[in-house]
């Protein structure tokens, strides 16, 4: 072999031998840059994330049987959806309770929040902090702690239990507000980071991806459109921000799916598009005004789609139209398939209900429906949702543990069963051989209370049954044929 050829072969072998080293160096550099990105996010976001310590009262009756100061609604009594309070407060196993008068106990919880708005003041600014309603709903005293060590007493600006959003305020200055991101533009697989105070560990950052979007019918809130993420979320993270790589808030960490009480890779966050709209109303008016159509809707399953001779996933089905409602006045009918609202496609119940609820009452909007195979566009004047009107309902909720399916009492159902709208749920199906069937519960039975808590919607019922799953026992107040009675079910 000629010398020049030998030289060429040698250089080639040397080059190929070096390729893995170059590839390794390139991979390490890529990881190094990714780590710097997360570090930059933490530096930018953490000063605006706060630790919330909440003190309130609860009764002896609420504590009985749960070892928790939150009673039947306790985040620790719910085996599926764990709310994000810490566990270092009276009522938890191994934690001593302070002496308090009988009939009343102190409850201390913790959560997270973040600064999202400020109002200029003469001497100091008013700083607004967004968190979850379930963090502060029973609060008598709220203490806010910042990363720089400053502490402030806070007061509630407004709460919205139906979306689980709340705003609290403090008098402070020199605290920057986080920027809102566009949750509607998120894609499954995008990097996100959760920042909060799990188990009281201040300003903890965890990283993951968007696992799914548009999670509804989860049974946590009345209005749901959750972002699902695998970023590690634990008790104490509740109310903290879920941010993108630009440090923008795309969600509010709210709940986890867990059978142990800790992280199992499935967390839920309220999307920023919903949280921002709710928070703005809470600042401006202290409560939330929601739009109202007055319909019962259900998902269009493949079987239903075939029956209506349309493609599955093309819209949602109108199962019932309330009398004298905005929907009836606009000409919506039972059996219509809603395919578009305000010019945008409709494919899923939860998203549609959220969009209607955030529409300004009194505005006139277009609703496109399929009726007998033909598309029609109707103009509807959005009403105002009030306490005596149930929210535009989705499908019935089932409780497999006891074998029941229930539906929120609409005005028509309330008239039929001699009840009031929003005051209980009606049983629509009882599984043969189930605990409910053996107890004598029949379709048409109205359940007004579960564990002495009033039921206003099917979602309330589902949450209450799940909260009792640890004890495998619930106390129902039922009404049938004009007679009320209590009924205890065990399984």
Point out the residues that are catalytic. Answer: 134, 164, 238
Distance CA 455, CA 425 (A): 7
Distance CA 163, CA 220 (A): 9
Question: Number of C-alpha atoms within 13 angstroms, CB side, residue 437?
Answer: 11
User: What does each C-alpha distance from 153 to 159, 196, 220, 378, 394 come to in angstroms?
Assistant: 17, 19, 29, 50, 40
CB 340 within 8 A of CB 331: no
Could you count the other beta carbons within 10 Å of the beta carbon of residue 41? 22
∠ Cα 255 256 262 (to 5°): 125
Distance CA 286, CA 272 (A): 19
- Count of helix runs (H) and strand runs (E) in the chain: 10, 28
Burial of 127 (0-12, 13-18, 19+ CB in 10 A): buried
Handedness of CA 448, 453, 454, 456 (dihedral sign): negative
CB 138 within 8 A of CB 52: no
Distance CA 470, CA 353 (A): 31
Distance CA 76, CA 96 (A): 17
Distance CA 408, CA 448 (A): 11
∠ Cα 376 378 380 (to 5°): 160
Distance CA 58, CA 43 (A): 38
Distance CA 440, CA 434 (A): 10
User: What does each C-alpha distance from 262 to 74, 111, 265, 409 come to in angstroms?
Assistant: 15, 15, 9, 35
Nearest in space to 172 (alpha carbons), one of 145, 194, 196: 145
Backbone region of residue 294 per phi and psi (left: phi > 0; alpha: psi in -120 to 50; beta: other values)? left
* Helix boundaries (H) for 96-194: 133-136
């Amino acid at each position: 072999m000629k010398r020049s050829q030998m030289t060429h072969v040698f250089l080639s072998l040397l080059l190929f031998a070096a390729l893995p080293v170059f590839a390794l160096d390139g991979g390490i550099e890529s990881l190094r840059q990714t780590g710097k990105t997360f570090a930059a996010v933490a530096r930018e976001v953490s000063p605006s994330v706060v630790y919330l310590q909440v003190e309130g009262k609860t009764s002896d009756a609420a504590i009985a049987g749960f070892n928790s100061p939150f009673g039947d609604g306790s985040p620790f009594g719910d085996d599926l959806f764990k709310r994000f309070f810490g566990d270092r407060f009276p009522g938890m196993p191994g934690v001593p309770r302070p002496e308090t008068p009988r009939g009343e106990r102190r409850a201390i919880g913790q959560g997270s929040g973040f600064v999202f708005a400020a109002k200029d003041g003469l001497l100091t600014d008013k700083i607004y902090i967004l968190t979850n309603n379930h963090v502060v709903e029973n609060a008598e005293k709220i203490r806010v702690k910042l990363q720089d060590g400053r502490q402030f007493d806070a007061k509630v600006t407004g709460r919205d239990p139906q979306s689980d959003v709340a705003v609290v305020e403090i008098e402070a200055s020199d605290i920057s507000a986080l920027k809102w991101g566009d949750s509607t533009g998120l894609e499954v697989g995008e990097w996100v980071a959760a920042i909060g105070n799990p188990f009281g560990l201040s300003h903890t950052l965890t990283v993951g991806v968007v696992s799914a979007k548009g999670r509804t019918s989860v049974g946590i809130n009345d209005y749901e459109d959750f972002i699902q993420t695998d970023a590690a979320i634990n008790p104490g993270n509740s109310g903290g921000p879920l941010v993108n790589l630009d440090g923008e808030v795309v969600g509010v960490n709210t709940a986890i799916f867990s059978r142990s009480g800790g992280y199992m890779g499935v967390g839920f966050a309220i999307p920023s598009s919903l949280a921002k709209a709710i928070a703005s109303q809470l600042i401006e008016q202290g409560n939330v005004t929601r739009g109202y159509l007055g319909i019962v809707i259900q998902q269009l399953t493949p079987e239903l789609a075939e029956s209506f001779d349309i493609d599955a996933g093309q819209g949602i089905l109108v199962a019932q139209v309330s009398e004298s409602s905005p929907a009836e006045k606009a000409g919506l009918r039972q059996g219509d398939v809603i395919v578009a609202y305000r010019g945008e496609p409709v494919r899923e119940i939860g998203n549609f209900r959220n969009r209607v609820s955030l529409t300004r009452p009194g505005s006139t909007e277009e609703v496109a429906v399929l009726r007998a195979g033909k598309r029609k566009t109707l103009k509807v004047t959005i009403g105002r949702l009030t306490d005596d009107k149930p929210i535009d309902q989705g499908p019935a909720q089932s409780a497999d543990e006891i074998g029941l399916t229930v539906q929120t009492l609409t005005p028509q159902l309330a008239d039929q069963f001699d009840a009031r709208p929003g005051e209980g749920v009606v049983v629509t199906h009882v599984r043969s051989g189930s605990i409910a069937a053996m107890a004598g519960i029949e379709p048409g039975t109205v359940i007004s209370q579960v564990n002495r808590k009033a039921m206003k919607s099917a979602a309330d019922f589902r949450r209450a049954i799940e909260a009792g799953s640890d004890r495998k026992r619930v106390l129902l107040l039922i009404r049938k044929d004009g007679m009320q009675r209590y009924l205890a079910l065990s399984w």
